[in-house]
């Protein structure tokens, strides 16, 4: 039985692509030092799909039971030792 996936809006797709491109560019030095091009080809769609899924869940939080439950669970998984996000140095340097 095939599982029916929710449809992403064009806005979610476009936003995910832009965010994924920024993530990919921020990872470039790490990629060069630790990952092959083949590994990056495998990692890039994982990142894009995860971002697109998170955007879908955020936009459907409270109205879609799966989105609400999944985001609540993900929120509980965030470890206390994670630093709070900040604006990337590459952006500040522009």
Largest pairwise CA distance in the chain: 50
Looking at residue 60, its pLDDT comes to: 95
Query: Which pTM was predicted?
Result: 0.88
Give pLDDT tens digits for 14-66.
Answer: 999 999 999 999 999 999 999 999 999 999 999 999 999 999 999 999 999 99
Residue 73: pLDDT above 80? yes
* Tens-digit pLDDT profile for residues 33-42: 999 999 999 9
pLDDT computed for residue 23 by the predictor: 96
% pLDDT > 70, the chain: 100
Q: Which among 55, 56, 57 has a CA at the least distance from the CA of 69?
A: 57
């Amino acid at each position: 039985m095939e599982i029916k996936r929710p449809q992403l809006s064009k806005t979610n797709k476009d936003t995910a692509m832009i965010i994924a491109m920024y993530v990919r560019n921020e990872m470039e030095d790490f990629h060069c030092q630790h990952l092959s091009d083949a590994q990056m080809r495998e990692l890039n769609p994982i990142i894009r799909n995860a971002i697109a899924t998170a955007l879908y869940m955020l936009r459907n939080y409270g109205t879609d039971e799966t989105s609400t439950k999944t985001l609540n669970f993900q929120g509980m998984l965030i470890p206390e030792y994670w630093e709070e996000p900040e604006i990337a140095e590459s952006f500040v340097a522009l």
